Chains A and B, each alone.
Chain A
Amino acid sequence: MTKNIKALLLQAELFRKQGLLGDARKKYKLVEEILLKSDKLPNKQKLLEGLAKKVAALDEDVKAVERAPSTPEMSSHVNELIKKLFSFAEKDKDENDAALEGAIALAKFGQFDGALEEFHKLLQVMSVRVSAAKNILRCHLEMGNPDGAHTQLAQWQGSDLFSPEQFEKVTAFFDEILEKKGLKKEIAQAPGATAEVSVMEEDEEEEFLDISAVAITFDSGPHKGEQVELDVSFQSGNVISLIISSRDEHLIESLKVGVRLDDVHFYSPVAIFRGSGIVSAKTQIKSGPKKGDFSIDIKIESL
């Protein structure tokens, strides 16, 4: 038993050192359980005290991680680098598009002051003016400063920077994000999900059971009446992907896009479910080790 405890403590220490705080905590807790259950250990109380100290120290580490700023101010050198590394528009084609992307990248990384400065420069450029304006408003909102956004908007209204149509676009956009933000009020943001300029586009993917394999019984075609078992390579929500070797011509033939599969067994870690699905995509893999094989997506209809 003490050997077991030693091994667990060794792991816990290593996990802590590597920053795997949750895993370390679990091991400490496991040791605690073992200690509490045993009544033969002479130094049990002391061991428990020592352990409690370790767990407390670990909890301090966790707090420090949670407290750490998610958007530190960075040197102008690093800001320049981000702008350069994350602007994807072809630079010779349109310098201003590239500059806009660079500024958006800054905002995404939470560097709002730097981003605002860039966007304000870009307001002077006709082709990106509206985008720059929208992003200025977003920055203010992301900085937790809606008043700043309103003030800015009022200021623009009084100037002749925008044409009426352009200004309309900007205000419509602003109303929309305000509304979405309002809806989002209840949902606490995860720490670090910072400066999500695209946060409004995020779709809440619903939890779906993990399917590891399927067994399909065909009711027509060359495999009629047969049950074919296939591994699931990937899953995204209710869409599973299978890879089928180019040698299985009949199978590939049977799994046409749009085909309904009425008798499918879905193997999940908890149980096997019977249900149906529809072949939603079929693509031949053009390169790499699986070249020539087919990737088939099946949308699960019912479980």
Chain B
Amino acid sequence: MAVFNIKKREIECKIVYYGPGRCGKTSNLEYVFKSYKKQVGGEMVSINTEGDRTLFFDFLPMDLGKIKGCDVRVQLFTVPGQVQYASTRKLVLRGVDGIVFVADSLDVRREKNMLSLKDLQQNLKDYGLNIFKVPLVMQYNKRDLADEGIPIMPIEKMEKDLNRQLKVPSFPASAVKGEGVGKTLQECLKLTLHSLQKQFSWAQ
């Protein structure tokens, strides 16, 4: 639910990182915070519990400057991935404009990825949104673990599990190394702003 101020020509939108527990959502935001200093518009706020698990959310404001004559501000959020935080997860998703679904490449997390995607679909539905219509990109995270001899799923398998029907843009990534993090976010911003532009037709 972006806020568009016609008089000031400002738009503020919300992007949420979703995915199963420990898949690397917070790591994505941390990397963005460290590496995009120019666009970061304030401190990153993380509300964690034991073992760095997200308890409520992470929040990072970004200021993208003028796009087509409009000041664009973006709020990045992560949800808590742990199953038991279902209610908070849903609350954080409220008013979302674009989504990054972070999937864990570890093969032991296969089912958790699928369950989390289903959970996303249901929560969106409860807010009257359709997962097929909402701006969404997919990220296959922790690709670096292959080098350490840890079994991870091939991209094709993850595509088949998670993206067979959705067919959204997807990116391999390593959030701790920063690989693919920028690309994922850029694509999500592109889709989100495109959809908002249609909604508010601010370019005219």
Residues of A within 8 A of B (CB): 7, 10-11, 14-15, 18-20, 23, 26, 61, 64-65, 67-70, 72, 74, 78, 81-82, 85-86, 88, 90, 105, 108-109, 190-194, 196, 198-199, 231, 233-236, 243, 283, 285-290, 295
Contact = CB atoms under 8 A, between A and B. Distances in A.
B50 A289 contact: no
Interface stretch (B32-40, B62-70, B130-138): B130-138
A108 B53 CA distance: 18
A104 to B, nearest CB: 10
Given A78-B45, A81-B59, A105-B91, A20 B51 contact: no
Nearest to A27: B108
Nearest to B121: A234
A185 to B, nearest CB: 19
A48 B19 CA distance: 36
A295 B132 contact: yes
Given A11-B108, A287-B198, A288-B133, 6 more contacts: A14-B145, A61-B51, A65-B50, A193-B85, A234-B165, A290-B132
B148 interface: yes
Interface of B: 1, 3, 21-22, 45, 47, 49-53, 55-56, 59, 75, 82, 84-88, 91, 94-95, 106, 108-109, 118, 121-122, 125, 130-135, 145, 148-151, 164-168, 195, 198
B47 to A, nearest CB: 7
A283 B130 contact: yes
Contacts of B132: 233, 243, 285, 288, 290, 295
Contacts of A295: 130, 132
A234 B1 contact: no
A270 B179 CA distance: 39
Contact of B95 (A69, A88, A285): A88
Nearest to B164: A231
Given A64-B50, A109-B56, A193-B87, A235 B118 contact: yes
A285 B84 contact: no
B149 A285 contact: no
B145 A192 contact: no
Contacts of B1: 88
Contacts of B122: 236
A192 B85 contact: yes
24 contacts: A14-B150, A15-B108, A19-B51, A19-B52, A20-B108, A20-B109, A23-B106, A61-B51, A69-B49, A70-B49, A72-B55, A74-B47, A81-B59, A190-B84, A191-B84, A194-B88, A231-B165, A233-B165, A234-B121, A234-B131, A236-B122, A285-B130, A287-B198, A289-B167
A235 to B, nearest CB: 7
Nearest to B145: A14
B84 A193 contact: yes
